[in-house]
Amino acid sequence: MKTARPQEAEVFGEFPPMKELDDYTKFPVIVPSSTPSYNSFYNANYLKELDESDIAPTLKYVSDLLGGLKSKVVRGYCIELVNYLAEAAVGPRERFGSRTVLWGLQRPPLNGQLTALRCDSNVTLDDLLPWLIPFYVTNARNQVQLSLDSDELLQHHLFSTYCCKSLNIVVEDQTSFMSRTSVESKFYNVVIVRKQYEPFPLVGNWVSKLLLQGHIKSTTCYDHQFIMDFKDSPKWLKLATAC
């Protein structure tokens, strides 16, 4: 049996179509990875202790959005998500050995397909933000569309935050939403936002439900031309600045 050889920058992944992921698996499976992590989650008391002072300096602007949350557990999880992305969404990492490799988090397809986050009238800001944060603080911000029911409170929370004014927000009923998203070519992923997703899984696994992980390799060792050609690709996930 052939296995992944991380020492040679080799990795395997099992990725069903993102829209169908929950039909087949809990998270995308990457080999090698920590198998127990797929069933690990955060202690609620730990999350409750986190506050805005713990947010990474580069993403402090997200504090305005977190201010509308009611649950300390959700707030802590969003802070954990933000800090993970502050470290992980910095473009590609480089590795040199018998091969030359660029690897890291990536944006969804850049062909115009969007990720739709559907919020019915029962969804609150606490329910939505864990899904929205990975887009909100990265260069994938323009690749997500929020479909909101006529919930004025949720709209108020979003529109009162300056950065959210640049988000793609559609106010529509469920019938209209289902009709639009049935056109498969228009949406890369469709997420029906549910009530609070607790206990919360490790943030790296959570992000893998929305964004991509990938690598590109040259079979030549220390291939600096390869690095120069691909490191600035717009496909790599990077942090977004405040609006």
How far is the C-alpha of 89 from the C-alpha of 22, rounded, in Å?
24
> Is residue 26's pLDDT more than 70?
yes
Q: How many CB atoms lie within 10 A of CB 114?
A: 18
User: Cα dist. 85→22, 137, 176, 193, 242 in Å?
Assistant: 23, 8, 33, 21, 15
**What is the CATH topology of the domain spanning 6-230?**
Aldehyde Dehydrogenase; Chain A, domain 1 (3.40.605)
Q: What are phi and psi of 233, to 5 degrees?
A: -60, 140
Token pair of 174 as six digits: 């469920």
Banded model confidence at residue 5, pLDDT cuts 50, 70, 90: low
How far is the C-alpha of 29 from the C-alpha of 16, rounded, in Å?
10
Strands 187-192 and 114-119, by their bridges, are parallel
How far is the C-alpha of 102 from the C-alpha of 124, rounded, in Å?
38
* Domain ranges, ordered by start, for the chain: 6-230
> Is residue 8's pLDDT more than 70?
no
Of 21, 209, 42, nearest to 133 by C-alpha is: 209
Q: What does the pLDDT read at residue 198?
A: 76
How far is the C-alpha of 114 from the C-alpha of 141, rounded, in Å?
10
pLDDT tens-digit readout, 148-183:
987 677 877 777 665 667 788 899 999 999 988 887
Handedness of CA 206, 93, 61, 73 (dihedral sign): positive
Share of residues in the chain with pLDDT > 90 (%):
52
> DSSP H helical segments within 2-124, as ranges?
21-24, 44-49, 63-66, 72-88
Mean pLDDT of 100-121: 92
